[in-house]
Amino acid sequence: MKSLLFIFSVFTPYASIAKTLMIPGTFPTGKNLYVFQLGIQDCHEARCPIVLQLLKSKKVINSKTLEWDATAPRIINQNQKSQESASGNDANISNNVIVTETSINIAPASPTLSVQAVILTKIQPALLIDQTIGFDHVSRLIEIYTRTKEDKIKRVWRLKSGPGPRWISISMTHQNHQLVLTSTVTSSYTALELWQQNSYAWSTQSNKMEKTKSSPTYFAIIGSYTRLTKAIAIKRELDLNKRCVSNFLVLKTDSYNKLKKGLFVIAYPSYDKNTVTSKLANAKKCNPKIDGYIKRAQ
């Protein structure tokens, strides 16, 4: 399997006659003969549909058009590199396709698209498709598609968010195949910040992704205060010059059941304990005055 990067020109017209799909990438669904394929229609229009196809023995047996189109119909650059081949028993397939624009003349409505092969269960491969559109005010559409027993493409999870201060990150845990969704609201040293985590898992009964008990949440905590204004001031002070804790948040402990209530902490949160450990070590290296500890928050 390979990782591909495609860059699309927003303003260059595509002159040739529409004949086929341009294929940014293919994604084997395990050790059988099924393959997902992503295609963008070769067209004259300003907006070109993005098509997800299911192949069996190299033949298209089902297809589905994504809700958001591509605005750029011509490939102007391509960068390709090899990755390890994934077998049907792998639980950590992670091959990405990034569709983006050139770094200049970016139109506000230009979409970006990333695709990742994921495993919902040991026998249920799928594609996670993440689309964003906009420049300063970004909207986002995240979907998961899989193959049914009837050899059809089925959407089993969807999240659509509009412009706003809330930023969403999404990842797939390898051990228990959970989809972890985190939502963050930052304030740039002016107010309380927010961080929330939800988890989803594949249900064999309903054949769809359902909300489940969240993975444990860990905090790298570098300060704990009784007043919000004090916590914000300390974070601002620690961030002067080198911005050593710019990715830490000022959070209220009342929202997390394993923390003492009524406090405001400067913390880096994550479901991955190794990640928070690394963030704390980096902060201490950046500023020797920083001290802290790791604690499970919920």
Average pLDDT value for residue range 162-175: 78
Say what the pTM is.
0.72
pLDDT digits (tens, 9 = 90+) for 95-142: 333 333 322 223 445 567 788 888 888 778 888 888 887 766 778 889
pLDDT band at 274 (very low <50, low <70, confident <90, very high): very high
Average pLDDT, the chain: 75
Cα 121–chain centre separation: 19
Higher confidence at residue 15 or residue 186?
186
Check whether 43 has a pLDDT greater than 70: no
Cβ burial, residue 59 (10 Å; 0-12/13-18/19+): exposed
Domains of the chain: 2-164 (no CATH), 165-298 (3.30.70.1070)
- pLDDT computed for residue 29 by the predictor: 64
